[in-house]
Amino acid sequence: MDIIIYSEDPKIKPKILKVDGSKWSFPKYININDKDLSKTLFIYAQVYVKKRWIEAEEFIKKDPILAYYYALNIIKGRWLEAEEFIIKNPWTACHYAIYIIKDRWPEAEKTIKEDPLIWSIYRNQVWPLRSSYIIEM
């Protein structure tokens, strides 16, 4: 099956994404402006592709939550190309540091500090209790 991402703008060429393992034989058409585009592609990646789906990553990575779960469940490690999006959300940045990086993520700490509860979780999970770390609030 193919997923065809199209635009009503004739200047934008359709993008065809191959999906192996799908039970459907007909193509699925999704408008590039569809607000659920990244969610739809993420679900297809989880359910049908079940491995890295390079063609869809440019869409999935733009949603911080989906990018985090894609890194966790599909890539099973760091997804450097998506970190610029993951870092924009305190929850995803914190969980990415805890469960993917498994260490401090200094570049994300400014964002994580925006939410006091998430900052507390991050500090307790990622920062070891050593005197060499200064915990700022």
pLDDT digits 0-9 by tens, 10-64: 777 767 676 665 555 445 766 667 778 889 889 888 887 889 999 899 999 999 9
Domain encompassing residue 133: 78-137
Domain count, the chain: 1
Q: Which residues contact 126 (CB under 8 A, 6 or more apart)?
A: 97, 98, 103, 104, 105
Pinpoint the alpha helices (H) of the chain.
Answer: 37-44, 54-60, 64-70, 83-86, 90-96, 109-112, 116-126
The mean pLDDT of 113-136, rounded to a whole number, is 77
Q: Domain for residue 87, yes or no? A: yes
Q: Domain for residue 37, yes or no? A: no
Q: Domain for residue 47, yes or no? A: no
Of 117, 56, 114, which is closest to residue 82 (Cα–Cα)? 56
CB neighbours (10 Å) of residue 114? 11
